[in-house]
Amino acid sequence: MLQAFATVFSLNVLIPWILAMALGIFIGAMPGLTATMGVALIVPLTFHMQPIAGLAMILGLSFTAIFAGDIPATFLRVPGTPASGAAVLDGFEMSKQGKGSLAITLDLFCSALGGLIGVVLLITISPTLANFALQFTNFEYFWLGLLGLSMSAVITKGSNTKGLIAVVFGLLISTIGIDISTGYPRFTFGNINLVSGINFIPVMIGLFGLSEVIRDIAVQSQEQLSGAAVVETSHTTPKDVLKVMGRNKRVILQSSLIGTIIGALPGAGADIAAWVSYGFAKKTSKHPEAFGTGSEEGVVAPTTANNAALGGTWIPALVFGIPGDTITAIVLGAMLMYGLKPGPLVFTNNKELINQIFAVALSSQVFVLILGFLGIKAFAFLFRFPRNVVLAGITIFSLIGAYAIRTSIFDVFLVVLFGILGYVMEKVEMPLSPLILGLVLGPMIEDNLRIGLIKTNNQFLPFLTRPISGIFALILVIAFLYEPARSLFKLMRKH
């Protein structure tokens, strides 16, 4: 292992690795540019390098990009990457209270620690975990999707009916486009742009980013708009952050585990890990009412889990050659181009390389801290501008960022449409996050339900009788009945 560290710290690996991580900060902080896109952009460059340098660039970039997505999420309510959707909820609230510096530094430390725990788990338990994940079929994925959806009830503030309306609306939007089982185009109305469905990145940029700009313009006066973008009232030291982390040890550990396990499931990545972890943290918190109002736990849970998930996604990729998410799908392609064959044999045939990958993954967490800190400083420069200039900047970056996803003007329309919808939804006090959750999990739930039913000849019973499937169903029932049962128990004790 020491030899592996010596190799990865040689200049021909270290320089491209650090440069890619710095690029990851910019990509992550820019709405519309995702970690996946960043990895896809640098892969062609890596073909001219030795495999470990290329893999270090990919691994490092994904870690910094996932963290950096939380920077605009915290300060501007614009998630930089899909994995930062849940980080908006409490990070932005803390920022509004003048505690943005604490929120983002806490986020940075949690991202590095979550990433580190994810990598340690990758190194230690990867074969066992990957084996467990391989037993998952459509039945288990269906229940897993529903479990994720049940989190919408947890993350909803205020009216449950409105939260459910948002989640069902998100699920309905997810049905637009080609039906995966039959190839039939649903609700496309002959529009070619709708055939591939509604991309959730412009939806997120619109719902969280543009709607906030509209709200600012509609609510604040000209004088307020020309004031400083963010008023910082506190200065945060690492000691303050470590204190907060000490108070939230349980949430950090729990979120790292959830993140890694979800990351290890093929098809579920850092975004789902962050939502589920946020919901779980709220469910198990002593102060669930504080979530959504600038709670420390609400910042810790999703930001720890999304970086921990990255370690998790490499487990099935390395052990079985099955991608855990889109980034590792690109990685697998790149590894084949390098002449490596991912799968169980990679651990014996390329033991040296595997150790080097582990060394890169571990060391990247230190670089995340350093580069992340510099990234925050660079971003803080923006706040010296008046708020109306920042609002114009957010608007144009959101629009061009949406265009950049697939050079489609239709995606820019989606940003505006969902920006207006987000503004209206907030006017009627309807939560935005469940809509995103419905949109993200919709295809997972529908496809696995229908393929499962086709397999069983329209019988639902096998969804309950398989062991893991049955356990998931039971957890779901408990999750739904827990609150009413607790209220009933309290009521009975009172009487």
Partner 1 sequence: MTEELLLKLSREHGLGIACIAISLAVLCITPSFPKGQASVNITGPAFFPNVLAVAFIILGTIQLIAATRASLKSRTENAQKTKPSAQANRTRQAIEFIILIVAFIFAFEPLGFFTSTIVFLFLLMLLLGLTWWKSLLYSLIFTAVIYLLFGVLFTIGLPAGIISFLGI
Q: Which parts of this chain interact with partner 1 (CB under 8 A)?
A: 26, 30, 33, 37, 41, 159, 161-162, 164-165, 168-169, 171-172, 175, 179, 181-182, 184, 186-187, 213-214, 217-222, 225-226, 386, 388-389, 391-393, 395-397, 399-400, 403-404, 407, 409, 412-413, 416, 419-420, 427-428, 430, 446, 449-450, 453-454, 458
Of 52 and 449, the one with the shorter C-beta distance to partner 1 is 449
Of 315 and 399, the one with the shorter C-beta distance to partner 1 is 399
Of 4 and 436, the one with the shorter C-beta distance to partner 1 is 436
- Smallest distance, partner 1 to C-beta of residue 367, A: 21
Of 341 and 384, the one with the shorter C-beta distance to partner 1 is 384
In b/e form, how buried is each residue of 170-186, taking b as 16+ CB within 10 angstroms?
bbebbebbeeeeeeebe
- Smallest distance, partner 1 to C-beta of residue 340, A: 27
> Are 209 and 394 in contact, with CB atoms under 8 Å apart?
yes
- Smallest distance, partner 1 to C-beta of residue 415, A: 9
Q: How far apart are CA 258 and CA 26, in angstroms?
A: 27
Of 33 and 332, the one with the shorter C-beta distance to partner 1 is 33
Of 93 and 411, the one with the shorter C-beta distance to partner 1 is 411
Name the residue type at position 85. G
In b/e form, how buried is each residue of 308-336, taking b as 16+ CB within 10 angstroms?
bbbbbbbbbbbbbbbbbbbbbbbbbebbe
Q: Write the DSSP string, 22-47.
A: HHHHHHHHSTT--HHHHHHHHHHHHT
- Smallest distance, partner 1 to C-beta of residue 169, A: 8
Name the phi and psi angles at 185, rounded to 5. -80, 115
- Smallest distance, partner 1 to C-beta of residue 2, A: 37
Of 218 and 461, the one with the shorter C-beta distance to partner 1 is 218
- Smallest distance, partner 1 to C-beta of residue 31, A: 12
Enter the tokens of residue 410: 């239709």
DSSP E strands: which ranges in 325-431? none
Q: How many CB atoms lie within 10 A of CB 135?
A: 10
Enter the tokens of residue 166: 């948002």
Q: Which of 265, 292, 266, 271 is nearest to 281 (CA)?
A: 292
Q: How far apart are CA 381 and CA 422, in angstroms?
A: 28
By CB neighbour count within 10 A (0-12 exposed, 13-18 middle, 19+ buried), where does 264 fall? buried
- Smallest distance, partner 1 to C-beta of residue 356, A: 28
Of 182 and 233, the one with the shorter C-beta distance to partner 1 is 182
CA dihedral sign, ordered 456, 462, 468, 474? positive
- Smallest distance, partner 1 to C-beta of residue 222, A: 5
- Smallest distance, partner 1 to C-beta of residue 20, A: 13
> Are 428 and 162 in contact, with CB atoms under 8 Å apart?
yes
Of 30 and 86, the one with the shorter C-beta distance to partner 1 is 30
Enter the tokens of residue 356: 């080097």
